[in-house]
Amino acid sequence: MSQVIFDQISRNSLIRRQSKKDVYRVGNYSVNRYIGEFWTSKQRQSSSIHEVSYRACFKAELPRFFIEWMTKPNDVVYDPFSGRCTTVLEAALLGRKIIANDINPLSRILGEARLRTPNLDKLKERLYKIRNDKSLKPDIDLSMFYHKDTLVEILSLRKYLLNRKRENGLDELDRWIQMVATNRLTGHSKGFFSVYTLPPNQAVSPQSQIRINKKLNQKPEYRNVREIILKKSKSLIRTLTKEQLSSLWTVSRTARFLNCDAQLTGAIKSNSVELTITSPHFLNTIDYYGDNWLRCWFNGIDAKAVANSIKTSKNVEDWNNMMLNVFKELYRVTKNGGWVAFEVGEIRNKTIKMEDLIIPIGNNAGFKSEALLINKQKFTKTANIWGVENNKDGTNSNRIVLFYKQ
């Protein structure tokens, strides 16, 4: 099977360099390791629909490589740690059926809406029907982030969405507005609602923002919330073809977005998934509350409750036990002849390689580890994933362990 993999890699048109092959050993297990450039690092080559900021997300070219290689239209592609939903959106663009799961409820908000792109005229009409209510006051002080008039617009939009959700449920336009607004709350350009702050994949505390404002001698300027939402909406759909728009809408009819612990996904039928592509968090490297408190506030979500429900492992042994349960679930839902492409990385100053942990775990769950793919490409910016610099010597790399269910 490994020779078949290598032959297919060697013929794949996405390769820019000849891959190198050797054998990688972990304890009693050995896998063929292939090093080459299997997918591009240029983000602008992926669809504009992916341009939603989220912590530690991989580029769309990575899942596309495996989806095109290992599946055909109408096959089921799954991601148990879906994040901003890069894997499933790319699968939907390619006409695959999708299942997304993430214990973070923001994942569904950011992902599901993008399957049903709006008519921009109808979107504008909906936005301007939402009246500004100047009597609204926030339950937390947000004056360090927003101009008072911008805050009125945010509060009015928030009230509208929460009321709609409670009364009749959000329709497609509402969900799109919710998704874009959630992504535009804070950032470091005039394309966001806030004054200059950290990149939009995380939110600083009010106290930290006060310090940023003082250091930069800045104060919040007025931002037109509706026009920012419209501008970002146009940007998100700008590269979509008619065929892609049709594919997204078709896939949306059967798409499933779950909000479960990845160890407990009984809602997914056994032997139903052709390909899983995923990248999990490692240990307690993500500060859920610190990153998402403002997004959760806007959406009426208890950020502390969600943070407490996310099981983070404080040591490698606990993480291994959790991942073994995840892989047992993956084995259950994967069809015979199906695959898992599992992204791994280096943590703790490169003293731990995740493939050394994952290869035994996957095999113990019933899979056969078939290959370790190391994708190396020239990269011009520093890539910091989970606090680890991944851009030494002018290259950026991703590492994928491939598992096969016989």
Alpha carbon distance 10, 307 (integer Å): 43
Alpha carbon distance 72, 204 (integer Å): 42
Burial 350-389 (b: 16+ CB within 10 A, else e): eebbbbebbbbbbbebebebbbbbbbbbeeeeeeebbebe
Q: What is the pLDDT of residues 190-233, one digit of tens each?
A: 999 999 998 777 789 999 999 999 999 999 999 999 999 999 99
* Mean pLDDT to the nearest integer, 370-377: 86
Burial 281-306 (b: 16+ CB within 10 A, else e): bbbeebebbebbbbbbbbbebebeeb
142: amino acid identity, one letter:
L
* Mean pLDDT to the nearest integer, 55-80: 91
Alpha carbon distance 9, 23 (integer Å): 16
Alpha carbon distance 83, 101 (integer Å): 8
Q: What are the residues whose beta carbons fall under 8 Å from the beta carbon of 260, sequence distance 6 or more? A: 101, 103, 267
CA angle 17, 22, 27 (to 5 degrees): 140
SS3 64: helix
Task: Show the tokens assigned to 342.
Answer: 């599992």
Percent of the chain with pLDDT over 70: 86
The pLDDT value given to residue 37: 80
How far CA 208 is from CA of 144, 198, 204, 379, in Å, comes to 9, 10, 6, 31
Residue 12: which pLDDT band, with cuts at 50, 70 and 90? low
**Do residues 60 and 14 lie in contact, with contact meaning Cβ atoms separated by under 8 Å?**
no
Q: Which H or E run includes 86?
A: helix 86-93
Residue carrying the six token digits 């010597």: 393
Q: Which domains does the chain have, with CATH numbers?
A: 2-115+240-287+309-404 (3.40.50.150), 120-235 (no CATH)
Dmax over CA atoms of the chain, in Å, equals 68
Alpha carbon distance 272, 330 (integer Å): 10
Task: Show the tokens assigned to 37.
Answer: 């450039």
For residue 278, list its beta bridge partners. Answer: 342
Q: What is the pLDDT of residues 260-294, one digit of tens each?
A: 999 999 999 999 999 999 998 876 667 788 889 99
Helices (H) and strands (E) in the chain, counts: 14, 13
Rg of the chain in Å (alpha carbons): 22
Alpha carbon distance 268, 212 (integer Å): 45
Cβ atoms within 10 Å, residue 230: 18
Alpha carbon distance 338, 271 (integer Å): 9
Reply yes or no on whether the pLDDT at 350 is more than 70: no
Q: pTM for the whole thing?
A: 0.90
Q: What is the pLDDT of residues 14-28, one digit of tens each?
A: 444 556 788 999 999
Alpha carbon distance 31, 3 (integer Å): 11
Task: Show the tokens assigned to 364.
Answer: 């113990």
Which residue in 66, 105, 91, 110 sits closest to 251, CA to CA? 91
Reply yes or no on whether the pLDDT at 77 is more than 90: yes
Q: What is the pLDDT of residues 35-66, one digit of tens each?
A: 888 876 554 468 999 999 887 678 899 999 99
The pLDDT value given to residue 56: 66
Dihedral sign of CA atoms 230, 233, 239, 241 in order: negative
Whole-number mean pLDDT of the chain? Answer: 88
Query: Does 305 or 115 have the greater pLDDT score?
Result: 115
* Mean pLDDT to the nearest integer, 78-102: 97
212: amino acid identity, one letter:
I
